[in-house]
């Protein structure tokens, strides 16, 4: 049995699907279908009834290819808040952390199934929040209202 600690989670053990090999640099382990293993780990994490731990949050974020800043923007926090959560601090009482927990689970399950609609939608909403509200100017032309060119 092999403890797969390099994924960042302490309780991941492999019963098979790996080979122990000797290299010129010493002992190493080769894992078969690493992408599939990470998908299985991610799905198991999202199915847990417990709130995400900081390590699980980091694992899912990295699997989704999100920076701390990007995840922070999705949940209305800064990168430092995400870093604090990933260290296991401030996880219990914050409503924003609960939102991040739910969002990461949904995004990961969508990612694992090969879809990207929810993430794309959230990114568009966040872009709207960052853009300045533009003035809407209308004009009446022959009894109908239209958006003005000016």
Residue 148 lies in a domain: no
pLDDT digits (tens, 9 = 90+) for 116-133: 677 777 677 666 655 556
Residue 84 lies in a domain: yes
Residue 144 lies in a domain: no
Are 1 and 13 contacting, i.e. CB atoms less than 8 angstroms apart? Answer: yes
Indicate whether 12 pLDDT > 60: yes
Residue 147 lies in a domain: no
For residue 131, the model assigns a pLDDT of 59
- Residue 101 to residue 75: CA distance in whole angstroms: 10
Nearest to 83 by CA among 71, 98, 99, 65: 71
Residue 146 lies in a domain: no
The mean pLDDT of 14-32, rounded to a whole number, is: 94
Residue 102 lies in a domain: yes
Indicate whether 149 pLDDT > 80: no
Residue 50 lies in a domain: yes
For residue 129, the model assigns a pLDDT of 55
Indicate whether 73 pLDDT > 70: yes
For residue 93, the model assigns a pLDDT of 54
Residue 72 lies in a domain: yes
For residue 31, the model assigns a pLDDT of 94
What is the percentage of the chain residues whose pLDDT exceeds 70?
87
- Residue 8 to residue 6: CA distance in whole angstroms: 5
Counted domains in the chain: 1
E strand or H helix at 146, and its extent?
A: strand 144-147
Question: Which residues span the domain enclosing 7?
Answer: 2-138
- Residue 138 to residue 42: CA distance in whole angstroms: 50
Predicted TM-score (pTM) of this structure: 0.75
Nearest to 68 by CA among 43, 86, 50: 86
């Amino acid at each position: 049995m092999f403890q797969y600690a390099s994924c960042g989670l302490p309780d991941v053990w492999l019963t098979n699907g790996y080979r122990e090999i000797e290299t010129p640099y010493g002992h190493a382990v080769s894992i078969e279908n690493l992408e599939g293993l990470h998908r299985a780990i991610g799905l198991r994490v999202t199915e847990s009834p417990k709130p995400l731990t900081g390590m699980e949050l980091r694992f899912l974020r990295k699997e989704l290819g999100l920076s701390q800043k990007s995840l922070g923007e999705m949940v209305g926090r800064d990168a430092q808040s995400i870093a604090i959560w990933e260290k296991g601090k401030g996880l219990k009482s914050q409503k924003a952390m609960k939102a991040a927990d739910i969002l990461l689970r949904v995004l990961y399950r969508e990612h694992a199934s090969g879809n990207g609609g929810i993430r794309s939608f959230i990114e568009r909403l966040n872009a709207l929040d960052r853009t300045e509200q533009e003035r809407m100017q209308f004009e009446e032309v022959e009894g109908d209202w239209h958006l003005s060119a000016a």
